[in-house]
């Protein structure tokens, strides 16, 4: 170790033309450099370890595998990334509510460790499962993922996507993505087979308010397109939702029922989550009936009211690549929704 200390001191001789310390050169010589300074590894505490190119990792970290430097970035409350179409996007797009697998991988990296188990009880075409597989090659290591999906087509499509993606990866010489455990059926029934305290991260994207009707019309393209306006963010300002208005407050009941259903389901899901685990939920707010529906806040409060979970953060996923449309101009301010919310819950102490 004395040698190490000497090497670090000598590294200060790496200077650029102006006599300033040349961190790039020091790094090229494989010396631990962080924030432009060579780290003297002798100064690290027993629980600290320098990870080449990534910074200092604290062995006490029970949340993720990130170093301090990576953690600083990962706790930013806004994720401002577009995640361009990838991973068989055109195939997955048949679903319509799919999430970018690499965004899922980023979230999985923030809230789990290599080898952990991730559950998505509303798995769709497998954004979470594909993200967990990406962690093997583009993160700190594979996570095992279990997905529940009640629509058989989406279960099949996940497998088709994985096969097509892996064909392309093999042709490029990249290692294949691991197949995850996608199960067909209702999430509450399938949950019975998942032992208590066995899931480190529950990452999901909830079926939206009114999603059921939309799913039934999925293959009737015309109907589908007209109805998408009822939950698709700013498009929701159109008149496709007046079935609720006709019955005088029906939308409130429908929303209340949806919230109660989600609250009940998340209460059940939480039994499967380890005490140190997290529950992370995608939810988009909406604009409908000329008012902003703060669904993220409503859902967070509903879940907290039943499940032993505490809201730790509301991350905003801002997608700078989203197309803008002109809504309301020139009479009324209608937001163009270019963000979604990512609710982060942790288990209440003692659960």
Closest CA to 101 of 122, 80, 121, 87: 87
User: Which of positions 28-67 make contact with ligand SAM (CB under 6 A)?
Assistant: none
Strands (DSSP E) contained in 121-180 are 144-149
Sign of CA dihedral 265, 267, 268, 271: positive
Contact positions with ligand SAM (CB under 6 A) in 142-161:
148-151, 154
**Residues 11, 14, 88, 99: which binds ligand SAM (CB under 6 A)?**
99
How many residues interact with ligand SAM (rule CB under 6 A)?
A: 19
Of 102 and 288, nearer to ligand SAM (C-beta) is: 102
d(CA 171, CA 330): 52
CA–CA dist 96, 188 (Å, integer): 23
Note whether 317 binds ligand SAM by CB under 6 A: no
CB atoms within 10 A of CB 221: 9
Residue 95 binds ligand SAM (CB under 6 A): yes
Within 205-264, which residues bind ligand SAM (CB under 6 A)? Answer: 205, 207, 215
Distance CA 231, CA 208 (A): 8
Site residues (CB under 6 A) for ligand SAM, limited to 168-197:
186-187
Nearer to ligand SAM, 27 or 268 (CB): 268
* Structure tokens given for 308: 């032993």
Nearer to ligand SAM, 187 or 236 (CB): 187
- CA 108/CA 74 separation, integer angstroms: 11
Considering beta carbons, is residue 26 or 161 the nearer one to ligand SAM?
A: 161
CA–CA dist 215, 36 (Å, integer) = 53
User: Nearer to ligand SAM by C-beta: 124 or 233?
Assistant: 124
Binding segment for ligand SAM among 52-60, 90-98, 106-114, 339-347 (CB under 6 A)? 90-98
SS (H, E, C) 297-337: HHHHHHHHHHCCEEEEEEEEEECCCCCCCCCCCCCCCCCCC
Segment contacting ligand SAM (CB under 6 A): 12-20, 31-39, 48-56, 95-103? Answer: 95-103
Residue 184: phi and psi, rounded to 5, are: -90, 125
Q: Which range of residues in 124-132, 137-145, 273-281, 330-338 is near ligand SAM by CB under 6 A?
A: 124-132
Report in angstroms how near the CB of residue 88 gets to ligand SAM at its nearest. 12
Binding site for ligand SAM (CB under 6 A): 95, 97-99, 122, 124-127, 148-151, 154, 186-187, 205, 207, 215
């Amino acid at each position: 170790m004395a040698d190490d200390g000497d090497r670090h001191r000598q590294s200060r001789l790496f200077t650029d033309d102006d006599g300033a310390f040349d961190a790039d050169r020091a790094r090229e010589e494989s010396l631990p450099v962080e924030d432009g300074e060579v780290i003297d590894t002798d100064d690290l505490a027993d629980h600290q370890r320098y990870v080449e190119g990534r910074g200092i990792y604290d062995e006490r970290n029970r949340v993720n595998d990130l170093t301090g430097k990576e953690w600083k970035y990962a706790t930013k409350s806004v994720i401002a990334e577009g995640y361009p179409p990838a991973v068989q996007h055109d195939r997955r797009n048949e679903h319509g509510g799919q999430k970018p697998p690499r965004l899922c991988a980023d979230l999985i990296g923030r809230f789990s460790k290599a080898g952990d188990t991730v559950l998505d009880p509303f798995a769709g075409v497998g954004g979470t499962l594909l993200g967990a597989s990406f962690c093997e090659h583009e993160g700190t290591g594979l996570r095992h993922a279990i997905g529940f999906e009640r629509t058989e087509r989406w279960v099949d499509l996940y497998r088709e996507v994985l096969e097509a993606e892996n064909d392309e990866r093999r042709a490029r010489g990249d290692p294949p993505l691991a197949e995850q455990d996608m199960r067909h059926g209702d999430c509450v029934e399938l949950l019975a087979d998942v032992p208590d305290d066995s899931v480190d991260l529950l990452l999901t994207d909830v079926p939206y308010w009114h999603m059921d009707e939309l799913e039934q019309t999925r293959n009737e393209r015309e109907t589908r397109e007209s109805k998408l306006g009822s939950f698709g963010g700013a498009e929701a300002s159109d008149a496709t939702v007046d079935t609720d208005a006709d019955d005088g407050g029906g939308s409130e009941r429908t929303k209340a029922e949806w919230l109660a259903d989600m609250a009940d389901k998340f209460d059940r899901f939480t039994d499967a989550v380890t005490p140190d685990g997290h529950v992370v939920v995608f939810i988009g707010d909406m604009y409908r009936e000329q008012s902003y529906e703060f669904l993220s806040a409503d859902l967070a409060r509903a879940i907290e009211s039943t499940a032993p979970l505490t809201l730790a953060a509301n991350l905003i996923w801002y997608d700078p690549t989203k197309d803008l449309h002109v809504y309301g101009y020139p009479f009324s301010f209608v937001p163009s929704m270019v963000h979604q919310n990512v609710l982060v819950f942790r288990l209440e102490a003692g659960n």
